[in-house]
Structure 1
Amino acid sequence: MLEALNRALELVEEDTAHPVDTARMARLALTSEYHLRRLFTALAGMPLSEYVRRRRLTLAAVEVVDGDATLLDIAVRHGYTSAEAFARAFRAQHGVGPGHARRTGAVLTSQPRMTFRLTVEGGTAVRYRIVDKEPFRLVGYRARVPLVYEGHNPQMDAFVRGLGEDHWGLLAALSDGEPGGVVSVVDAIEPEREEGSLLDYYQAAVTTAPAPPGTDVLEVAARTWAVFPFTGASFPEGIQRVWADAFGQWFPSHPTHRSAPGPELLTVDYDEDGSTASGELWLPVERL
């Protein structure tokens, strides 16, 4: 899997005047375009589009400093339609404009070329199970919040704190399916999954009961799920790590499955002091 991903990344270095063909990258990586983006973000710590932008501006900076070509020629060669657009992107990455960098030899920021390799770190096993589940309904409360990869998500925390005891009691009473109890749901994430991109966040219950007034409903189609149980995870870092381990360790070592579009479900039971938690992460997958 990682060898195929590395072959796909070679396209970033080619024909920098045109956008990267992510569909072709996915074919080279022997996976879907959706899974390619999800896997890359988990492994690299940044979206694929961000890596492409940084890498190509790194290549452009080499030409800027060399001074042999005009700034407009360099801009066009790296996919920008005007010198102004190129200058804005260049300044965002390097902190100075291309003209200033050429004149003064300013310090620039380089994005190294990425290559993924399999390493063994501690030999920690990733526990999982595969579940084929019929269609079901999630009923609860929804907010549109930004994506935060590490640490607390202030808007998500504020939404959860804003739910009263009557809301939690209603969700507990509605729950009559798997996963049981109150379920945190992430859905409708913007495609690039960049830090700060928006998503639908639910506190909900799997239920066959009618949706009470004032609640939101999410219908989930029949699909296969990879379920990752965890215990003793710190909040929020340890729980966020469950996602990272799923994409960074489990998917690369299980080429029989790849991630699929759909909601991601999380159940969490906190210990007495709230510092650690146990639960399950449900990720939609498809069999290959």
Structure 2
Amino acid sequence: MISALNELVDLVEEHLAEDPDLNALATGLGTTEYHLRRMFSSLAGLPLSEYVRRRRMTVAAADVVRGEDDLLSIAVRHGYGSTEAFGRAFRAVHGAAPRAVRRDGGPLRTQPRLRFRLTVEGSISMDTRIADRPAFRLIGHAARVPLVHRGVNPHIQRHVAALPRQEHDRLKALSDTDPAGLLQVSDDLAPDAPEGTGLTYLHGVAVTGDTPVPDDLDAIEVPGGRWAVFRSAGPYPETLQTTWAATAAEWFPSNPWRLRPGPSIVAVLDRAADFSTATCELWLPVEPAVPEPDRG
């Protein structure tokens, strides 16, 4: 996976003025565009689309400051059809218009070219299992909330706090399959979504595919497949978020699995009364990194 990400960076660099063919690269590397984007975002700390934009504007800034060409020529060279579109992208990265930067020499925000390296330290003990699950449903109360990478998400916190206490007991009583208990479900999120991107959050439980859904509850249909299940215990949500990051930094690069599209699920197995600590299971949908042969 590390070598695949470095090939991805090389491809981006070769096609800065256009959108690189990530699907072709992923197919050639025996993986998927979805998995490449998820791993890049997790390890680089920013979405691939944002990295491409920053690199493009870093290279463009050198042309602007050099002052040898007019701004339209520079805009076209870097994949923009007008100075207006180029100016908006330039300003979003550098915080100033191209003409102002050409006049003053700055400010400039540089995005260095990334290079991924794997350092094997074993810093996180990964208590993991692979679960093969038939199709099931996730039912509960859903809301659209912005993505927050670190700390408690206040939008999710408000959504859950607004539910009556008896509703949590009702949901737990409806649970009839794994993952067991009350679940925190994130769905409808792009593989390299930046912080603040909207996602569907569902506070609910898992039920079998033929379990009726009460009229007042939302439902997410989950197809059958395999799941990597990571167990964490400690301060909440810090330990869970550290475990989540370690799946990309340590587990996926050294195991023959890759992410597939689907919801991510957190099952809270045990917690302190004030939720300061918790034992959780993180369920991520996976598939073999090398597709299995057809046995049909």
**Secondary structure of the corresponding residue to residue 282 of structure 2:** strand
Please state if 1:242 is matched with 2:243.
Answer: yes
Aligned partner of 2:221 in structure 1 is 219
Aligned partner of 2:148 in structure 1 is 148
Give the distance between the partners of 1:273 and 1:66, measured in 2 at CA.
58
State the number of aligned residues: 286
Aligned partner of 1:271 in structure 2 is 272
Give the distance between the partners of 1:28 and 1:93, measured in 2 at CA.
32
Give the distance between the partners of 1:241 and 1:185, measured in 2 at CA.
18
Give the distance between the partners of 1:175 and 1:245, measured in 2 at CA.
29
Deviations 1:158-215 (A, max 9, x none): 1011111121011111112111110111111135412111111111111244222301
Give the distance between the partners of 1:282 and 1:267, measured in 2 at CA.
8
Shift of 1:132: 0.6
Please state if 1:229 is matched with 2:226.
Answer: no
Give the distance between the partners of 2:117 and 2:28, measured in 1 at CA.
17
Aligned partner of 1:168 in structure 2 is 168
Does the aligned pair in 2 maintain the 1:137–1:217 contact within 8 Å?
yes
Does the aligned pair in 2 maintain the 1:144–1:201 contact within 8 Å?
yes
Please state if 1:86 is matched with 2:52.
Answer: no
**Secondary structure of the corresponding residue to residue 128 of structure 1:** strand
Give the distance between the partners of 1:191 and 1:144, measured in 2 at CA.
17
Aligned partner of 1:68 in structure 2 is 68
Structure 2: tracts of 5 or more residues without a match: 291-296
Give the distance between the partners of 2:46 and 2:237, measured in 1 at CA.
19
Give the distance between the partners of 2:31 and 2:112, measured in 1 at CA.
24
Shift of 1:230: 0.8
Most deviating of 266-275 and 163-172: 266-275
Query: Under a length normalisation based on structure 1, what TM-score does the superposition of the two structures give?
Result: 0.94
Amino acid at match of 1:271: A
Does the aligned pair in 2 maintain the 1:29–1:36 contact within 8 Å?
no
Aligned partner of 1:117 in structure 2 is 117
User: Cα 1:31–1:242, aligned 2, differ >3 Å: closer, same or farther?
Assistant: same
Aligned partner of 1:280 in structure 2 is 281
- Within-5 A mapping of 1:131-146: 131-146=131-146
Give the distance between the partners of 2:96 and 2:221, measured in 1 at CA.
49
Aligned partner of 2:12 in structure 1 is 12
Structure 1: tracts of 5 or more residues without a match: none
Amino acid at match of 1:270: R
User: Cα 1:197–1:29, aligned 2, differ >3 Å: closer, same or farther?
Assistant: farther
Amino acid at match of 2:74: I
Shift of 1:245: 0.9
Shift of 1:29: 4.4
Most deviating of 206-215 and 167-176: 206-215
User: Cα 1:50–1:36, aligned 2, differ >3 Å: closer, same or farther?
Assistant: same
Runs of 4+ in structure 1 over 3 Å off: 27-30, 120-123
Does the aligned pair in 2 maintain the 1:4–1:28 contact within 8 Å?
no
**Secondary structure of the corresponding residue to residue 7 of structure 2:** helix
Most deviating of 90-99 and 207-216: 207-216
Does the aligned pair in 1 maintain the 2:17–2:56 contact within 8 Å?
no
Shift of 1:16: 2.5
Give the distance between the partners of 1:210 and 1:183, measured in 2 at CA.
18
Give the distance between the partners of 1:95 and 1:199, measured in 2 at CA.
28
